[in-house]
Amino acid sequence: MDWSIPSNERRAWDRRVPYYLRIRDRFAALIEKGSLLPGTKLPPERELRDQFQITRVTARQALTQLEAEGLIFRENRRGWFVSPPRIQYDPTANVSFTESVLAQGRTPSATVLSTERMIASARESQFLDVEVGDPIFLIQRLRSIDGRAVLLEHLHVNAERCPGLLGLPLDRSLTELMSEHYGISEYRPHINMRPTALAEPQAQALGVSPGAPSLYLSRIIYDQFDSIIEFDQEFWRHDALEICINVHHHLSPVQAEGVNNSHDDMPETLR
């Protein structure tokens, strides 16, 4: 395949556009046009180097740029691939990861990486309504969509409220387990999010290179008695999700229903 840039696709303000941005543009156009489908493997960096007559450093700069935009991703030492569509996710809704992924016609899965019963330190007690020294559970799970790991979870649970939790099938929805086994109905009024980059251990778990861009999300979870029973930390692949929030307080139920909250069709940038 010939990857070179057709003359009709050059930028209006061409001339003195850095090479790495030209290559970025080339692939961005192919991906947006649908010529490169999600999951497609890109050519090896050395092939790009030859095709475009640049050095590998420059080729990598273009690839890193596309990665930052979420158009492509890499699997450590395996290659570069076109990103699947983002999953739409509402962190304020009481809808589990599993449900919302299924609702969008994708296939979710969960792997329990580790479980641990530990004693709350000052740090955890602060977030969990427990005293220092009280028992808590720490559960680490990896969530995938269509076989691609997208989310690393660190769940901190008040152990006294759900004895025996670690013996239950933790690859299922935790919300369901809490409800079915302990009569706890969760809700999640406080959510924090910020863009960052992944440190070594999280990157490893998600199978990405350390320093890959990421969205960090934390959540304090209450039960029906307004007592904190869970504190979650989530590390998302930055290209895997689109946060869609519906605030219902002013909408009548009829209006709220059937609302499509994706602004997908609006171009994000005005290149």
Report if residue 257 touches a second copy, rule: CB under 8 A.
Answer: no
The angle subtended at Cα 85 by Cα 91 and Cα 187, nearest 5°, is 10
**Interaction mask 210-229, a second copy, x per CB under 8 A:** xx-xxxx-x-x-x---x---
Report the residue from 15, 249, 257, 258 that binds a second copy according to the rule CB under 8 A: 249
**Are 250 and 240 a contacting pair, CB within 8 Å?**
no
Report if residue 265 touches a second copy, rule: CB under 8 A.
Answer: yes
- Cα 197 to Cα 80, 159, 213, 267, distances in angstroms: 19, 31, 4, 25
* DSSP letter string, 56-101: HHHHHHHHHHHHHHTSEEEETTTEEEEPPPPEEE-TTSS--HHHHH
Instruction: Give the tokens for residue 31.
Output: 């991906």
Least distance to a second copy, CB of residue 226, Å: 7
Report the residue from 250, 253, 257, 258 that binds a second copy according to the rule CB under 8 A: 250
Report if residue 184 touches DNA, rule: CB under 7 A.
Answer: no
Report the residue from 35, 40, 55, 261 that binds DNA according to the rule CB under 7 A: 55
Instruction: Give the tokens for residue 268.
Output: 């994000």
Q: Which of residues 44-73 bind a second copy (CB under 8 A)?
A: 57, 65, 68-70
Least distance to a second copy, CB of residue 34, Å: 19
Instruction: Give the tokens for residue 206.
Output: 């998600």
User: How many chain residues bind DNA (CB under 7 A)?
Assistant: 26
Report if residue 85 touches a second copy, rule: CB under 8 A.
Answer: no
Which region, judged by CB under 8 A, interacts with a second copy, from 40-48, 108-116, 169-177, 181-189? 181-189
User: How many chain residues bind a second copy (CB under 8 A)?
Assistant: 66
Which residue is associated with the tokens 């960090």?
A: 216
Report the residue from 31, 36, 54, 240 that binds DNA according to the rule CB under 7 A: 54
Q: Which does 85 bind (CB under 5 to 8 A by kind): DNA, a second copy, none?
A: none
State how far the Cα of 174 lies from the Cα of 139, in Å rounded to an integer. 10
Report if residue 77 touches a second copy, rule: CB under 8 A.
Answer: no
- Residue 157: count other Cβ atoms within 10 Å of its Cβ: 23
Report the residue from 7, 8, 53, 269 that binds DNA according to the rule CB under 7 A: 53
Which region, judged by CB under 8 A, interacts with a second copy, from 39-47, 77-85, 106-114, 189-197? 189-197
Least distance to a second copy, CB of residue 183, Å: 17
**Are 253 and 158 a contacting pair, CB within 8 Å?**
no
Least distance to DNA, CB of residue 99, Å: 31
State how far the Cα of 147 lies from the Cα of 149, in Å rounded to an integer. 6
State how far the Cα of 89 lies from the Cα of 108, in Å rounded to an integer. 13
Which residue is associated with the tokens 């387990």?
A: 177
Site residues, DNA (CB under 7 A): 16, 18-21, 42, 44-47, 53-58, 60-61, 74, 76-80, 209-210
